[in-house]
Every structure is written in C-alpha cells, then in structure tokens.
Structure 1
C-alpha cells in the first residue's frame, strides 16, 4: 500500500473526522487562528485524538494548537507528513488558503497609493500638500472599482493639472467642464455630477483649497469655479455695450454689428473662446457698472461709450472678459451701488483687475445723499457687514454714519452724462 492509502486506513475514521474537519477550517480561514476548540463526545474520540495529538484527552472538549498538531504529525508519527499534506490526502483536495482581510486591505492600499502616486508624479503633482490626504481618502472612501483604478487615476491627475489649486490665486480664464473632460477624462460627460471622476477630482480640489467637500450642486459649482472651471460654456453671460473691438474677423464684426443695430451683446465663454487675442486698443476706457439699468439707459440714449455690466457679483465670464480687456491695456472704471455689496465688488475689481473708481468716493456719496434729500427720494437702510474702500478710506466711515444705501438709479443722470462726455 502507498503512504496515502495507509494514512486513509489509519486516520480516516469516524473518531478523527471532527479533528480533520476543524483543522481544515482553520487552515482555510482568512485569519488562521493559532488554536481551535474541538468537541470530544465519547471515550473512543478522546482516545483517537489523544494518540494523534500526543497527549491523553479528558472531558467533553479540548483546545488544539495548530502548530503543535502539525509538529506532532511530522515528527512523532510513522508517516512524517505535515498537517496540510495529511488533510489533502484525507479529503482528496488541496487546502484553499484565503487571504486575510487585513492583508487584502493592506495590499489594496499599497496598490491604490502606488497607482495614484505614479499618476500624480507624471503631472508633477505628487508632492503637493493635498496629494497624500487625497490618496488616503480615495483608498478608504473613494469607491473606485479595481478595474477602473488605473484609468481614473490617470484621468484625475490630468484634470487636476489643469485646475487652479493654489488658494492664493484666482482664475483668470475658465474652461467648461465638458471641454475639460473631453481633453483629459476620456469623454465630455466624465466630469458630470455623480460620475466617479468628478467625485474624486472635487475631493482633491476641496483639500487643496481647504474647504469642505461639496454636498450639493451649488457647492459643486462654487468649487469648480474656484478652480477655473464652469459647469458649461453658455449659461454665464457678460452684458456689454459698444465695445470697440479691433478685430477684422467675423466674430468681432458680429459684435460690432449689434452695436450698429442699437443692441447690447451677451458674451459667453464660447464667445471668448473664439474671440481674437486682442479685443480693444490699449488706453481704451471701459466703464463698468453694477446694474443692467445703467447699460439699458445708455443703449436707449444711444451713448456709445464702452460699457460692461457685472449684474451683481461678477460671474466667471465677466471676470474673464475684464481680465482680457485689462490685459489689452484698457482702463477700467467701476461704479456700483453705495452699499456694502457694491463696495465689496468695487474692492474686488480694484484688487484683481486694477479697476479705478467711477463716482465712488466719499464726496460722491455725500452729493448723492444731498440729491436724494432734495428730490425727496426714500433711501433704503444700509444693512450688512461694512466693507473697506482702499481707494477712499473715508467712504465706509461716511456710509456707516449716514446709514443709507444709494442705488445706481439715483445717480443715473450723472452716470449718463459721464458716458456722453467720456471718463478718460
């Protein structure tokens, strides 16, 4: 008889089958504990197990040490085979060793880290302060399928390389989310809300800018725009009038043609994407107002002074247009409401675009107060947190003392007179 036949003849008995079954469970267990509990229901079982294990057995059960059982089989039985070999012979199948969850998690973490680090390094982003916490988050919570990990890592790194991720810098130009996805993400919809690539990129962007991860569509839009990305290239518009475009191309002629028709232009990011590099001559004075009512009045009166309306807080397209005009050497002059929001807008345009004030000094506010009083105009109460006016520190103090807000419509006639005579 062969050794295998002898082993089956000696150890494949009813009294030992519980021992072998429990031993196999342990060897195939992902955790592989060092010992296991074995029931000993009768004297025959206690005697058989005791002979194999090398010590007498008492009671209804005992604890078996796996390592000791393996050593006993190898060194103190006539077959000289280890536990795994004995079980494979008795059960006629190999031990199915399963990786422990801890080891599997460690291997997964190492693979995620290696793949992400390599993708970031290719874009010179691996040493950014947000990179390591982003990789840790993606391993724990990113929910990226193993089959997609390589492509998602590569595409995410390509997208991140094109974002404004320095919280100390504001975007000067914007790209639409669909265009960015098409360039870097393998398809125009890959960065749409709900897509895996969008989720992992926005987490990196939030870490880079030190903000909470976006929880709704409004927060996602705000974070995208903070990084220089618009959700689309057509919804945001810049309301313009009489821009003296210098280009001879069809687009420039089209915008000038609207002025000839007495119509303002609503420029989008798509417009600026096809516009010529230079828009206006250096030294061109461009008025900037806060409320569309001012631009409407200029159009109605046929006053062809270049005018851009920010319509409240400047949108991405307004910001990009003003940057383009400033880069051409245009002189930007801003007027807005005399309230804290108006001063905040004016300060932002002053800081980021070099836009000088247009009738936005303390003397102008005082004159507008007197005008409103003489014309019996009811002025709204000034509310909110005070804002600074670096071009005239006296202005916020005077506004706080007077406690009244003055909208652009109150001084509309003065603004139109300035546009007729020029702001230069």
Structure 2
C-alpha cells in the first residue's frame, strides 16, 4: 500500500461493504476519503448514505442525480446500436460503470484527490470496467480495489470488522445473503449464492422489479413510442425526457411481466456466471427501436449494423466504453440513425412485447413495389437476369465438382 496517497474518492453506496471499505481506507492508507453516491435510478433512498458518511467523519460528500445523463448519454447510444451481449443480455450493469468512472475522475479533480476506490470484487467484470474507465480518463490517478488487498474475505470477517469499528450492520446482513443485487434505471441484476446452481429455477424467489407473467393482466396494453434520429422522444404522443420515458416504460413492463432473463454468461475475466436479469423498460425500448429501423434503414446499412453490433456489445461488456474503437463504431451507428424517425406501436401482454404497427416520414417501405397486385414500377422479368448472374458461380462450382467426380 502506498503511503503517498493523501485523498481518495470512494464509490459509496452506504451499504455494509462500502461502509467497511470507507473505514478500511482511512485506516490502511491514513488518507482523507471523499464519498460519491450516484443516483442511477436504483430506486433506493440515498440520504441514508449521506448520514452514514457524515457519521464516519467524511467532509466532502457527493450524491449526484445522474439519471438523465445515464439514459441520454449512455443508454440511448447503446440502444441505437441494438447492443445485446451473447444474444440476450441488454448490458444493464455494464453500461452504468463508465458513467460512474467518469464522475469518480471528475470528483477527484474537483477535490484534489490522488486516488479513487471501488467495491468490486476480484472475480467479476466490474473491477475491469471501473479501472479501464479511470485509465482512459486520467491514468495518473491510482485505483484502489480493497477486495484485492485486504484479508476480510468472508461475510463473518466483514461483520466482525464492522462491529469492531462501530459500523451499523443491518439485520438482513448478519446471515448469509441469498444473492447480491445491482440495480439502475435500465435493469436489475441478481447473482451469487442461491443462484450459483444454473439447474435450479430462480425467477419466483429473485425477481424484484417485474410481476410473474402468468399473474400479469389478462388484457393486453398498447403503447406508442416516438423516435427522432434513433432516440425515443415521446410516449403515446407526449414528449418526455429520456429518463422519464424509461421510467414509464419500466412501469409498463413490470406490470406485464416483460424483460426477465435467466442467463449463464461468459465473464471477461474468464469464468462463466449465472445471473437473473430484469429489464422491463429496456426490452420494450429495444424492440421498438428495431421496429422503427425496419422501416427507415436501408437493407445494406441494417445488415452492416447487425454485423457490427456483437463487437460493440462486447466492448461495452468488457469495459471499453472510452476506447477509440467503441467511439468509431458509435460514429458509424449514429450516422445510420439520421432518418430513424417515426412512431412504433407495441402490444404488451403476459411477458411479451410485440411490434404491431410503425410509421415514419422517412420510410423506405414502398407499397407500389411490394404489392401482390398489378403495379407500374417493377418489371418482374428483371428478376430473371438477377437470378442468372447470382447463380453463375454456383453453376461453375457444380460443374467442377461433376468434372472431378466429387460427391460432397
């Protein structure tokens, strides 16, 4: 441990782990600690974090409402990319980390701190995301990861340390926590303990944000989302801010049991992990965005975006939000969204979200060209030459195969 550290900015939730980390940093580094608590829409009262920090003697306490910035500058760019990791995961935890890292660095600059600290463990992805973010924004800052340094490697030791130092231990923390939860306005993630056996069903015990689809209303509900240049700007004709739209969609999705996922994923650090995710509003928004793109994106642009998307999603998942390659991909994606404007109507029913209508002033859909009725704009005879040219290389391959006597 470096004794040159004078001031540390801690990403602080006010929970048991970060409360212990706060005290441990004071003791181990003999440094002043600044706390930073981000409101990303996790649905928790944040003032208790302020009171706990004050009780610990912290002078500089930052509690920032970042919900609008989170959705506008991080979630919306990701939605424009239709980013999904390993075919299913909507990247709810991943997309929050670069914003937290950015604000940690900003507060370090504002307060003259020479280090930042986080509470991520040495087995997960978040340590990578936080530290890559800090490295990209200010490589001169030291990053402290207590879980990789201390010997408080069990819940028993953590609680004992808390009790020795007068840190409040909530009653629900004294037993073995059934699983850990991370939440923000985009999603809820639950991992660990009772979820570590991927053979065991866990939705009924774990889901915090959505109702069970079988308990959802027996009547469907319809919602219309308006888009401008790839970003949602209205619900049912009413203009709203990005965070307000996502909040409203979360309520709708929760009511109808939408956005549940049980996933075994490949962590960046090399191991597989099982998580239960709830992304009600995000699932609706992503479905709607694909719906408006179907109408407004050229086929070549759409297919190229679909090829780029897994690379983009992997960069976000692995913590490379501030990398030049993610920014390059974002520039291409944003260019594709110039005409992604219009409205999408969706049907919500018992865990499902379906696009049932779409319209756009920039639509590329031509009824004249696609109709099965008589038209004056498309000569069906043109298809013959098109097919003949595309078949030429296949014919040549078949002739060679026959000539050489190959059977497969």
Tell me which interval the TM-score lies in, with the shorter structure as reference length.
under 0.3
- Structure with higher strand content: 2
TM-score by length of 2: 0.26
* Bigger-Rg structure (1/2): 1
TM-score by length of 1: 0.25
- Structure with higher helix content: 1
